[in-house]
Structure 1
Amino acid sequence: MFINTVSKIPPDSPQLSIVIPAYNEAESLPVLLEQIQVVLKTHAYHRAEVIIINDGSTDATAEVLDVLSAQPQQPPIRVIHFRRNQGKAEALMAGFAAATGYIVITMDADLQDDPGEIPKLLDTLNTENYDVVSGWKYPRKDPLEKRVFSFFFNRITAFFTGVKLHDINCGFKAYRAEVVKELHLYGDLHRYIPILAHQAGYKVGEVKVKHHPRRFGVSKYGFKRIPKGFFDLFTVLFLTKYLKRPLHVFGTIGAVVAFIGVLIGLYLAVLWVIEDGVGFRPLLMLSVLMIILGIQFFSIGLLGELVIGLISRLERRVIGKKTDAERTPRPSANTEKP
């Protein structure tokens, strides 16, 4: 992950961890931290921490964060520096690993997320007994092309996954600690955290949050992210639906491919009877190739099933059994006030 430094954990473990990935946000970070401090002080959330991940910024973000983290303040600021840009998913994973609070808040560093909405996220998490609460930026203050793409993307994602959120890619979220500790993000899978959490059995909700126009810098959004987003959607569908049933997907593909090869072969057999031979038609080679490919896909699915079966047996041996006495009660989303 190429981490340079991680500042030390405060002596008293907080109940609320605010995780903020940042890339080239030197101008916005001081303003954002001041806003967070005001909100936490107003609502008496004293047992809190702010974790900022500098994702290999090329501007003065690192220097600004070092100055801010060196100042004695509440909540304490912890900084993680990446030597080079790793992407938002890796930054979030580093922040989740460093978080010590019972509840974790994630938000962007560009001042478009309003820290004043943190209490709303926490209240929704607690009153509705959710494990994850995702923000719904409403009304959204982004360029038209970004809003149009997001509209269709959210509906396509909801159709294929069954997780019906209006703004699945919103970075402003609240989680219970057990959720973030179970997540494994890479690439651009941070967009699909609600889906991954839902598939893992956690209860996912949504609440409207204020959204502001970008004040400093430029947006990291670009049209090149559009195909990546759909490729990642297929990845998530495989991880959530077929990770433990590989034969279902590879076997289906193999059966379809082999069936087409057989149909072509039957067609050539009819031609052979009618025309007294088929010679070296390309269709003959295609038929044989598709049947072989179908068998290979099916074999890959079988091998995947064997691997999953072995892993499941090993997991059962490691887990053994658990008793009710070993289970810990779920902490409340209400942060403790002095």
Structure 2
Amino acid sequence: MPTPELSVVVTVFNEEENICPLLEAIYSALHHLDYELILVDDGSTDQTVAKVKQHANHRTTLLVFNKNYGQTTALSAGIDNAKGQYIATMDGDLQNDPTDIPMMLEKAKTENWDVVAGRRTNRKDGFVLRKLPSKIANWVIRHSTRVYLSDYGCSLRVYKAHIAQNMGLYGELHRFIPVLVKQEGATMTEVDVKHHPRIHGTSKYGLSRTFKVMADLILMLFFQKYFQRPIHIFGTLGLLAIFTGVLISIYMLVLKIMGEDIWGRPMLMVGFISLLGGIQLITTGIVAEIIVRTYFESQDKKTYSVKETFKSE
């Protein structure tokens, strides 16, 4: 088959009421482009798959997971199967607007950007549960990673294919895609895009994801700053631990010389246990993440299993 100019990757999970209007919106917005549409069903338990098969046209490919793996894995599967020179990603809840894609694609082509990211200027979400946590997360990520993007949570982006297919998406790192592409030396810009309120279904995300974002941020900072020189972080922490231990030991020694009984005092033990325990936990998490990456990449394994591939005729 000839290579399309654009592959549009959409991840869906229990979006049966949104499928028909979603497909109609995409087909209408992109009818003048040379594109393919890849829908990835992330283990839906409703009629999402049936609705796609019913309303899909010849440009559409559906990947059906055998269970729910998460948005990052679904996005990775769609990108792996994309054949276009450029890859656009968007959510399947009708909050992203596919009419923005031609403009973003044109900007990527004419100005030679590796990534064109959407920025939701008039976001149609609740303030307390969605906007406020997003603003806080965006601020923290920007200032900790030094990747100054306004809206990390907007899924609507256009990539050059080789950039998207070399990001290395694992776990729940889709929130940090801008950081991943910057690590690859990609050029990136932002454009204002439309955003619509959710009409059908409910959001699959809430405040509980805040802790996952913070945990992933620690990992991203490690990969961004210390992946090629881990001794810089572990050596520094080790020296701080030794310095702290020496100070506590000297303090205990002074107390002993002054005639005080230091036996049974918890300070020395608590100091060492808490500090070394914290270092051990962080180190274990990072080492485990590296082992997972090595396991999959060295054996060319995928982090997902596709139960069915449906291609509309």
Shorter chain as denominator, the TM-score bin is 0.7 to 0.9
Which segment is superposed worse, 105-114 or 31-40?
Answer: 31-40
Q: Find the counterpart in structure 2 of residue 170 from structure 1.
A: 154
Shift of 1:250: 1.4
1:68: Cα distance to partner? 3.1
d(CA) in 2 for partners of 1:287 and 1:152?
A: 32
Change (3 A) 1:284 1:158: closer
Report the CA distance between 1:51 and its aligned residue: 0.1
Task: Map 1:195-210 to 2 at 5 A.
Answer: 195-210=179-194
Q: Which ranges in structure 1 are unaligned for 5 or more consecutive residues? A: 1-10, 312-338
Query: In 1, Cα distance between the equivalents of 2:116 and 2:39?
Result: 21
Q: 2:76 aligns with which of 93, 96, 99?
A: 93
- Paired position in structure 1 for 2:5: 15
**1:265/1:287 contact within 8 Å kept:** no
CA contact (8 A) 2:3 2:85 kept: no
- How far 1:288 sits from its partner (Å)? 6.5
Equivalent residue in structure 1 for 2:127, among 138, 144, 148: 144
Call closer, same or farther: CA 1:102–1:281 in 2, change over 3 Å: same
Following superposition, the deviation at residue 164 of structure 1 comes to: 1.1
Number of the residue aligned with 1:319: none
Matched, 1:64 2:51: yes
The residue type paired with residue 52 of structure 2 is L
User: SS at 1:27's partner residue?
Assistant: helix
Q: Which has the higher contact order (CA 8 A, sep 6+)?
A: 2
Retained in 1: the 8 A contact 2:85–2:160?
yes
Greater Cα shift, 81-90 or 268-277: 268-277
1:131 to 114, 132, 145: 114
Partner-residue secondary structure (3-state), 1:182: coil
2:301 maps to none
CA contact (8 A) 1:258 1:290 kept: no
1:50 aligns to 2:37 (yes or no): yes
CA distance in 2, matches of 1:284, 1:225: 37
**Cα deviation code 1:101-141 (max 9, x no counterpart):** 00000011111111110112112212332111110012111
How far apart are residue 272 of structure 1 and its match?
A: 2.1
Matched, 1:34 2:44: no
Q: Which runs of 5 or more residues in structure 2 are unaligned?
A: 295-313
Q: Does 1:25 align with 2:15?
A: yes
Letter in 2 for 1:68: H
SS of 2:206 mapped into structure 1? coil
C-alpha RMSD of the superposition: 2.5
Give the TM-score of the pair, scaled to structure 2.
Answer: 0.84
Amino acid at match of 1:18: V
| CA shift for structure 1 position 215 | 1.4
- How far apart are 1:284 and its partner, in Å? 4.5
